Structures are given as C-alpha cells and as structure tokens.
Structure 1
Amino acid sequence: MSSLSLIAVAGPSGSGKTTWINQFLGEQTTPAYYLRPGLEKASVDIGAINYRFPSVEVVSDTQAQTVLSQRLRLPKRKAPALTVGQLPEKATVYMEVGFHLDLASSCLTSFPFHRVAVLPPEMESSQWHEWADQVVQGNSVESARNGQLPNIWCTPLRGQVFDPASLDTIWTELTGGAYGQVQRAKGIFEVPDGSLVQIDFVDGLSGSEYRNLNVSPWLDGRPNRFSGLEVVGWELEESAIAQAVLDSCLSDHVIKQYQSYYQEVVSS
C-alpha cells in the first residue's frame, strides 16, 4: 500500500497558507511535491518555491489528475523532472487551494486529501471550517467586504528589470491604495545587480517582507527566468497597475549599463 501523503491547504487570501506549507518544505526529508491549481503560468508562489526549494517538484495542472491517480514509484530518487503518472512512496504532495477555487471541485474531492484550513483567529465559522479536517490559526485578514470576495490580478514579468527606487515607489503606491484596496500583494522582481527580490504584503500586518532569493546573478541581457506580480483586493484598477509596472521597467540601454557595471564589480 502506498504511503503517499496528500495534503490540501485552503483559506482566505493572506491567511498564511503558503507560509504554512513552506515551513514543512524547509524541513522535508522525503520527496515533496507542490500543486497550485488555477494560477500556474503567473503564480508567484510556484516561482518562489522553485527558487527557494529546488528539490521540490512542482506538479502542473495538466499533470495533476494523472499523477495523483496512478501513484507509481520513480525509478530514481533524483530524477531530473517529474514524469506524468509517477510518484515515489513516502512522498508528500501539498496542494495550495486558492480562495477563488470551489472547495467542492473534482480536484479536491477525487482524492483522499488531509484537509487543512489556515484561518484568521476571528473567523469562527465558514465554508473552510466545514471542509477541513484540521484548522490552523493564521493571519488576521478581511476575507470579504460587504459580502464580496476580493478579485485577483496577476501578470508575468519575465525579462523585466526594476531599479530599487522605482520598485519601492510602485510597491508603496500599490499597497497604499493608489490602485484600489489591496488585501494581498506578492511579487518576484529582477533588480539591476542581477538578483531576484521577493516581496510580500498582507493588509493588517506590519510593512512588507523582502527576501533576496538564492539564485545566480543574471548579468547578460534581459533575464530569461520567472518573475511576476500577484495582487488581491477590491476595486482594483488593473489597467492602471499594469501601466505603472510597465513605466517602472528599465530600458535595454539602461539594463546594459547596469550589467556592464556589475560585471566589472564581480570581475575586480
């Protein structure tokens, strides 16, 4: 009998689902897999897990049904990539369930997931309470406003580079309400010294969390790796956000100047 563990983690946006999963990924000694249905192409969470936990395999939406159904053992522990329909025994699959997904969807009901709800301490009853096998106390967040769930807007930023001052300005404007009421914002951004910066904001918590991701500096042209922005909130001015982001991106000429400088710094 397979000892594969399936864990689904759900809750409101900003409650701490990703943080809860990450604490286990950081301590994982057996094979671990991660699935985030519905936001695959622009998911900041998927990008961050790829960078922070390179041994964790990300299961795509298209692979998920077959992979979870068949549960076969991989021929080697460190295969270069997950083969559809193959999972090792003693593996743990973490599925992060976005607030926008139906808890009765087939991807959740077709498999024997252990259901974990990460919920605000002030929330005493909800659809997540009814769904969960285990309730974990998370961040205090507003899950709905006047009965209306927040909207989610995301965009990939592959190839775009931001100078730190401009990035700080647009982040302060965004989280300060210049483009609508933002409940949650998360992003991975390229900066001129070739590094990647992850920024997280949750309304109600103090400030934003900045993290330098452990990746090799990209100092040769526009970066060809994942970066992106995800914003959750109400009355979001999506076109204005997109334009502000675009206006903050560096031109080819400026990127080349920065990279020439940092290449000299590295070589000296």
Structure 2
Amino acid sequence: MRSPSLIAVAGPPGTGKTTWITEQLQNIACPTFYFSPGLGPISVDLARINYTFPAVQIITGDRGNSWLTNVPPEAVVYCELGFHLDLNSAQFGPLPYRRVGVLPPSLKDSEWHGWADEIITGNDLSPTNPESLPNLWRSPLTGIVFDPPSLEMILTELTGGAYGELQRLKGIFEMPDGRAFYIDFVQGLTGIEYTELPLEPWLEGRPQRFSGIELAGWNLNQKLIADTLLEGCLADEILTHYQQQYKNFNPLEEAISG
C-alpha cells in the first residue's frame, strides 16, 4: 500500500528551514500537511503558514504519529524539527521519510550532517555562542495592536542587544490600519524583514486572530521584553480612533479630490 510522502526538515535556528518549506508550498498540487512537533498553541510558524497557504492542512499539538493514519496516500507532509528536538526521536514511526538538513555553508560537521539524506544550503550564520544552543521565549500577542513607531523602536532595541543577545526573532504583529505583518530577524543577516500577510484588514475592535512573537538568544530579559511590548500596545480609545479613520478613508475619493 502506498504511503504519504514524508519530509522532515531540520537545522540550526535562523538557517531558513521554514523559508525552504514555504518555497515548496508555492505550487501544491496534492493534499499537503505541515507539522512541527513541540510548538504548542503559541506558534508563529503555524500561523504564518496557515495565513499564507490556506490550502495546507496544519497539524497542531504533540499527537505522536497517530494522525498519520488519516492522511491520504497521495499527500505530502512537511515536518519541521526545531533545533531543540532530538533528531533521533521517531516522528513518523516505522514509515520511511526523507531527511532534509538546511545548514549554513560554514558549518562543515554536525549532527545534522550525519542525520540528513540531503543538505540544502541555508543562511550563512556565524553565531557568537557556537558552543551553546540559544534559549527560546514565546509569547502570544493576540488582541494587541501596535503603534508602528513604537514597534519599530522595540524591534531596534531587541535586535540591537538591549534585552540580551538575540539570535533570532520572528513574529506576527497587528497594525492600526487592520493589516498584519510577519517580521523576521536573524543575527548576522542584514536588517529586519517585514512581510504583509494576505489577510482581510481587521478594523473592528481588537483582532481575534493569532499574533505572537518568538525569540531565540542568550541572557534574554524576558520580563522586560514582555513589559516593553505591552507599553507599545495601543489603548482602546486610540485604536478605535485609528480604525474609524481607516474605515472612512476612500482611496478613490482621495485621488479625485487631490
């Protein structure tokens, strides 16, 4: 009996595992699933893929491999393994799967090299703490809408080391004009990437769709980070004012009158 095509993707943080997977999802022609064990409900990656590729079925929670019994044989399953997971743990049970390592070209020998069937060249990272894995910190931001200048200042401080040494930042942030952005930073690469997500503008109260932040680094002051993020949140009355402005704005009328 034919089995689904199972593809496990692993590598250090920031090398581009999720990016490689999203490239494969651009033109899907069969039932496709995305699974990343150990993430739990606070997952920027799960939400980003769900928002960007609504046809992809997201597998949430730590279900072991029992959910695979309901996957059609013609399906493709992408399993993203976080750097904190044991590569030898059985994610697919006895089923065969392809192992893809997304690795920086400067990394010549690692556990990922011995594990992978195929090596994909990812971002060329030179971590300042190569001997120790970074710590992870995640926080939901659902319902929080940011003042853009305040968010830019917070991100500049975070990536500049004001709250500890940051290796990776990824997050989904809501703006007062109703748009949501995926924001990505990797230590050693240039700048902070902002990508608007293909979602309907949320202009009625606080957004009830998932947003959140995920950080990987060393000696991160988690409480100060959380307090600073809350300080950048728009109060209810200011948010209502902004939303009313954007709802009343008609670009066509503005162009004609201008």
1:176 lines up with 2:160 in the alignment:
yes
Q: Amino acid of the residue matched to residue 103 of structure 1?
A: L
How big is the shift at 1:235?
1.0
Does 2:22 match 1:38? no
Listed as ranges, the matches of 1:196-235 within 5 Å are 196-235=180-219
What's the offset of the Cα at 1:143?
A: 5.4
Gaps of 5+ in 2: 254-258
| C-alpha displacement of 1:142 | 3.8
Q: Output the CA distance in 2 between the equivalents of 1:109 and 1:129.
A: 21
Helix, strand or coil at the partner of 2:91: helix
Is the CA contact (8 Å cut-off) linking 1:200 and 1:208 kept in structure 2? yes
Greater CA drift, 223-232 or 98-107: 98-107
1:61 Cα deviation from its structure 2 partner: 2.4
- Aligned partners of 1:44 and 1:230 also within 8 Å: yes
Work out whether 1:113 is the aligned partner of 2:103: no
CA RMSD of aligned residues (A): 1.6
- Counterpart residue number, 2:256: none
Aligned residues: 252
Residue identity (%): 50
Q: Pick the aligned partner of 1:103 from 76, 87, 91.
A: 87
**1:253 and 2:212 equivalent?**
no
* 1:47 is aligned to 2:47: yes
Q: CA deviation at 1:107?
A: 2.1
The one-letter code sitting in structure 2 at the alignment partner of 1:7 is I
The 10-residue stretch of structure 1 (109-118 or 197-206) with the greater mean CA deviation from structure 2:
109-118
For 1:91, the equivalent position in structure 2 comes to 75
Q: TM-score, normalised by structure 1?
A: 0.90
Aligned position for 2:247 = 263
> Which amino acid is the alignment partner of residue 43 of structure 2?
S
Partner residue in 1 for 2:67 = 67
Runs of 4 or more above 4 Å deviation: none
Q: Which runs of 5+ in 1 are unaligned?
A: 71-85
For residue 141 of structure 1, give the secondary structure of its aligned residue in structure 2.
Answer: coil
Please give the alpha-carbon distance, in whole angstroms, between the structure 2 residues aligned to 1:181 and 1:109: 37
- In structure 2, the residue matched to 1:11 is 11
Contact persistence 1:40–1:46 (CA under 8 A): no
